[in-house]
Structure 1
Amino acid sequence: MISLNGVIVKLEDLNKAITNSEQKAIIKQMVGYNTIYYYESLQQLKFELTFRVNTLKAATALDNSGAKFTTFTYSFPNKKYWYRLPNGGFLLREGFNPSEAIEDIVKNGKLYAFECSTAIAIVLYIATLYTIGPRAFNTYFRRLYLMDWQFDEDLPIYTRDGEDFLIGDVLHFKNPDFDPKQPWWRAENVIYYGDDKFYGHGIGIRDSKTIINFLNGKRRENSTESAYLMRMITRPNYKTIYLLR
């Protein structure tokens, strides 16, 4: 359910105000859940819907970029824009706009390699850029740092238990019996496209069965416990990011 300024609104009323088909699919999901999504205004809701759609655009761009999957040990960036730190993270070089550097990852993906949690961070930063524009992005993310689940304070991220999966959410497949020789396949972090479609770095845009079968192929010998989609959702705090515009 969706609450605007304290009032639960109907899907037909929202459909009059929201004309984008991708955004309509998201509000249909929201209205269908018992969870109440609170917004102070229609503009705040539209901002989140735009961000979620841009998250899919960013994930698709990264999937098409040619960026490789690897572990922190072997990660590498385009040295023109990024320092590679000893922990495998990437730190923006002085003198470059963060918007230019983050977009370079999808423009010149073959010059990059990283693991799936950093890929999720990259997707969310690119979605932020698409949503608030380069001027605001360059103001708030001047010392951009890409590493695992570490996010700038101006892109707050939270995780909670739940099954109210929405298009644009970050979801998580767990592989409890992973091969100890390949510990990086203990899980796969994904962007949810809806209709049982997910983007995971190193796997691509696939359905849940394909991802589970892939992870099951990375289990220890004689394993009996299958990989599965967790009841866990990770989302940006859209209301905070809304204030950055």
Structure 2
Amino acid sequence: MIKIDGVFVIPEKLLKEITVIEQKAIVKQMISYEVVYPYDSVNQLKFELLFRVNTIKAAKQLNKSGAKFTTFSYSFSNKKYWTRLINGGFLLRENASPSIAILDILQNGSLYAFECSTAIAIVLYIAVLHTVGPSIFNKHFQNLYLRDWQFDEDLPVYQSIGDDFLIGDVLHFNNPDFDPEQPWWRAENVIYFGGDRFYGHGVDIRSSSEIINFLNKKRKKQSKDSAYLMRMITRPHYLSLYSLK
């Protein structure tokens, strides 16, 4: 359910106002759940819808970029824009343009390798860029640092527990009995495309069963505990991003 300025919206009226097919699909998801999604204005809702669509766009772009999957120990990046730190993270070089540097990952993917949580951060930063444009992005993200779940203060994220999965959400597959010799497959962080499609760095765009089957091959020998899709949802704080000027 969607509430704007304290009032529940009339679904038919809102769907007439939202003209982009991909955004309509998200609105229909929101309407179908018992969860209340509150907004101060229609523009706030439209911003989130645009961001979510851009998250899918960014995930598809990263998937096609040629960037490789690897662990923190073996990560690498384009030295023109990024300094690789001893912990495997990437720090934006001084005087490098944040927007140019983050898009370089898409344009020169073969020069990059990282694991799945860093890939999620990259997707969300690119989604921000697609949504607010390079001028605002460069103003607020001058100290980009790409590693794991460490985000800039201007890109806050939060987690909740539930089943109200929305297109553009970050979801998580857990692999509780992972092979200790391959601890990087203890989980897979994914972008939810809707239906039964997910993007995960290192596993491509797959169905839930395909990702679970993949992770199950990375378990201890004779394990009986299957990987599974968690009820944990990670989302950017869209209202904070809406306020970026």
1:42-191 equivalences in 2 (<5 Å): 42-191=42-191
1:2 aligns with 2:17: no
Aligned mates of 1:54, 1:10 — CA distance in 2: 26
**What is the TM-score when the length of structure 2 is the normalising length?**
0.99
Aligned mates of 1:228, 1:11 — CA distance in 2: 33
What are the Cα deviations for residues 36-60 of structure 1, in whole angstroms up to 9, with x where unaligned? 0000000000000000000000000
- Residue 237 of structure 1, CA deviation: 0.2
- Residue 15 of structure 1, CA deviation: 1.0
- Residue 95 of structure 1, CA deviation: 1.3
1:23 aligns with 2:23: yes
- Residue 231 of structure 1, CA deviation: 0.5
Tell me the amino acid that sits aligned with residue 192 of structure 1.
Y
**What is the TM-score when the length of structure 1 is the normalising length?**
0.99
What are the Cα deviations for residues 90-135 of structure 1, in whole angstroms up to 9, with x where unaligned? 0001111100000000110000000000000000000000000000
Aligned mates of 1:10, 1:203 — CA distance in 2: 40
Aligned mates of 1:83, 1:96 — CA distance in 2: 11
1:225 aligns with 2:225: yes
Q: Which residue of 1 aligns with 2:197?
A: 197
- Residue 10 of structure 1, CA deviation: 2.1
CA contact (8 A) 1:10 1:31 kept: no
Aligned mates of 1:140, 1:227 — CA distance in 2: 38
What are the Cα deviations for residues 135-174 of structure 1, in whole angstroms up to 9, with x where unaligned? 0000000011001000000000001111100000000000
Question: Where do 5+ consecutive residues of structure 1 fail to align?
Answer: none
The count of residues paired between Structure 1 and Structure 2 equals 245
What SS is found at the alignment partner of 1:199? Answer: strand
Range 182-191 or range 7-16, more displaced: 7-16
Aligned mates of 2:56, 2:107 — CA distance in 1: 16
CA contact (8 A) 1:170 1:190 kept: yes
Aligned mates of 2:226, 2:14 — CA distance in 1: 40
Aligned mates of 2:15, 2:172 — CA distance in 1: 31
Aligned mates of 1:207, 1:106 — CA distance in 2: 24
Aligned mates of 2:29, 2:88 — CA distance in 1: 38
Aligned mates of 2:214, 2:91 — CA distance in 1: 32
Aligned mates of 2:99, 2:217 — CA distance in 1: 38
Aligned mates of 2:109, 2:65 — CA distance in 1: 5
Show structure 1 runs of 4+ deviating over 2 A. none
- Residue 228 of structure 1, CA deviation: 0.2
How big is the alpha-carbon RMSD for the aligned residues of Structure 1 and Structure 2? 0.5
What SS is found at the alignment partner of 2:54? Answer: helix
Question: Where do 5+ consecutive residues of structure 2 fail to align?
Answer: none
Aligned mates of 2:109, 2:93 — CA distance in 1: 18
Range 138-147 or range 10-19, more displaced: 10-19
Tell me the amino acid that sits aligned with residue 126 of structure 2.
I
Range 53-62 or range 10-19, more displaced: 10-19
